[in-house]
Amino acid sequence: MVAKTRRQLAKLASLVLVLLLLLAVILLCIFLLRRHHRPPLPPAPPGNGSNPDDSVVAFDFSPYLVLYKSGRVHRLAGTSRVPAGVDEATGVTSKDVVIDNSTGLAARMYLPPPAAAGGKRKDLGRLPILVFFHGGAFVIESAFTPLYHDYLNAVAAKARVVAVSVEYRLAPEHRLPTAYEDSWQALNWAVRNAASGPEPWLRDRGNLSRLFLAGDSAGANIAHNMAMRAGTEGGLDGGAAATGVLLLDPYFWGKRPVAGETTDPARRRKYEVTWSFICGGRYGIDDPVVDPLSMPATEWRSLASARVAVTVSGLDDFRPRAKAYAAALRDSGWDGEVEQYETAGEGHVYFLDKPKDPKSVKELAFVAGFLSRP
C-alpha cells in the first residue's frame, strides 16, 4: 500500500514538473516575442481616402518634399512659421507686408534699432537696403520660417540695413519661372517705395543709392538672375541700380562637371532630375538661369552691380561651380569687383543651422562688412 502511494506521488510530481517546464517555456516565448517586436511605422501623411492616387508617390524629393499622383504635396521641412515683432536678442523690429494681393506675394521687413553712440541710442540716418531671397531648393522654406527670421534679424543688426525678405511662391505648385517673376516684382516694389513710398521704412529710412541683392542657395540663384535681368532689360524701376550682389553658397549646376565637381553619374543625374522637377522641364540643366558658366563673356558683362561677393563651403557639392562662377565673372571683362569667401570643413549653408558656431559668426562678419562698405 505504501509502495503504491509512493508511485502515485512520484507520477504526480513528474506531472507537476512537466507543467512547470511547459509554463516556463511559454513565459520565455512571450518574453522573447515582446523583446523583438518592432513598433509600428508612423502613419502616412493624411490624404483623401476616396482618391487612390492620393497615396501613390509621383516624385520623391526627399528630404524636402513628396509629390503624390493626385497632386498633393507633402513638405518634409521648412513649414513652420514665426510671427514678426521685436527680436529680444538684437532689438531688430520686423513686420510683414503684402506686395500683390492677387498672388499672395509678400515680404517680411527688418529695421535695426538706433545705433549706440556714447552710451546713448542715436539715429544715424538712412540705411542700406537689402533685398533678400531665401533658399530651400525652390520648394521649401519661407521668409517667415524660424531659420530665415533669425538669420535676417542677425544680418539687419550686424550690417545695419533695412531688409526686405521676399516670400516668393514655391514649386511644384508654382514651378519656375514663378519664383523669378515674384522676386522681380518684389525687387521693383522695394525700389519704388524707397524712392517715393508709401512704405515708410523704405521711404524714410532706406538709402536707394546703396541697394543690395542677396540670397542663399536657391535664393542666391535668384539674386544672380535678378542682377542679370536688370542688366538686360533696361534696369530697375526709376533707373535704380544695385551696389552689390551677395551669393551665399549659390545653387548652380550644369551638364559637364567643372574642376573639383563630382563626376558620379548617379549624383549628377539626381541634380538634373530635381532641377527638371523644379522648373517643369522649362529650362535645361545647361540653361544660363542654372548654369551661368554656359554664358559667353559678353553676357556676363550685363550683370548690373558694382560688386559681387560669392561665399562657398568646403564640403558643399555646389562649391566648385560657385568658385568657377566667381572666376568667370572676374575674367569676363565685367566692370566690377568680385570677392570670394570660403569656409573649410562645412556643408551647404551651414551658417543657418549653426548660427553661434565660430565659423558662422566669422562669415556673418564678412556679410556685414560687404553690406556696410560704401
> How far lies 323's CA from each of 291, 319, 338, 350, in Å?
13, 6, 11, 17
Residue whose entry in the numeric block shows the C-alpha cell 509629390: 67
Look at residues 130, 114, 120, 207 and name the one whose alpha carbon lies nearest to residue 164.
130
Residue 316 designated active-site? yes
Per the residue annotation, which of 182, 249, 291, 316 is the catalytic one?
316
Beta strands 162-167 and 105-111 are antiparallel
CA distance 101 to 306: 33
Return the axis-axis angle of helices 358-372 and 146-159, rounded to nearest 10°.
60
Please name the amino acid found at residue 236: L
Q: What cell was used for 10?
A: 512520484
Per the residue annotation, which of 142, 165, 217, 313 is the catalytic one?
217
Look at residues 97, 93, 83, 79 and name the one whose alpha carbon lies nearest to residue 142.
79
Per the residue annotation, which of 149, 224, 348, 360 is the catalytic one?
348
Cβ atoms of 338 and 246 closer than 8 Å = no
Query: What residues act catalytically?
Result: 217, 316, 348
